[in-house]
Amino acid sequence: ETGVTQTPRHLVMGMTNKKSLKCEQHLGHNAMYWYKQSAKKPLELMFVYNFKEQTENNSVPSRFSPECPNSSHLFLHLHTLQPEDSALYLCASSQTDRIDQPQHFGDGTRLSIL
Amino acid sequence: GENVEQHPSTLSVQEGDSAVIKCTYSDSASNYFPWYKQELGKRPQLIIDIRSNVGEKKDQRIAVTLNKTAKHFSLHITETQPEDSAVYFCAAPLYGGSQGNLIFGKGTKLSVKP
């Protein structure tokens, strides 16, 4: 299934670098999500966008900055990250941001902070 | 806020046996309960979901049961096969603001031995 595509698949960066994660969905959905998946912890919701508007910021540090230029694309801009930010970052989309809409995930970006 | 507890954290069964994973939730307003399967190195995929107006739902070898009074729901996999080996996540809604967000359990690593 290539409905939700994330790039890059792997990223290694230093704490002072600036990088961006990209997510693109070809499912015609209007809601997009960023999740953080760390070892031995539950999936953590970071941001929700519905029709390009941010509807949820789950108390995420400002070193993570999302951008949603249209309903098909979602970015996560990273700067001055900390070692504890190393994790798998998953993008998802759904028809709308209603909670009972099935969410379709991408393969994720494995992020390592040196 | 919503608290989702998932048990067990690991489960090993022989091929052909049944597997049961249980989740409890705390918010009595929760009304939608999805289950996701994540194979090693792959994306989480929705395998089944249930809404609060039904007590059970089946899809071939997979079933989910819901006990609203006790606030728990369970995933049942019958006639397990090696390809069922994966991490399974349950989720329940947390309502706040204009929408709700899914709160995920910590996951159950299921191993099916041939």
Is the confidence at residue B92, as pLDDT, over 90?
A: yes
Q: Give the C-alpha separation, B72 to B55, whole Å.
A: 11
Are A103 and B49 an interchain contact pair (Cβ–Cβ within 8 Å)?
no
Q: Which of A4, A98, A100, A104 is best to mutate for the B interface (most B CBs within 10 A)? A: A100
* Phi, psi of B98, deg, nearest 5: -85, -20
pLDDT digits (tens, 9 = 90+) for A24-39: 999 999 999 999 999 8
Q: Do B34 and A102 touch (CB under 8 A)?
A: yes
Q: How far apart are CA A71 and CA A94, in angstroms?
A: 10
> Is the CB of A90 less than 8 angstroms away from the CB of B49?
no
CA angle in degrees (0–180, nearest 5) for B100-A102-A96? 60
CA distance B61 to chain A (A): 20
Chain A's closest residue to B31, CA to CA, is A100
Query: What pLDDT score was predicted for residue B1?
Result: 67
Q: Tokens representing A20?
A: 């961006």
Per-residue pLDDT band at B113 (split at 50, 70, 90)? very high
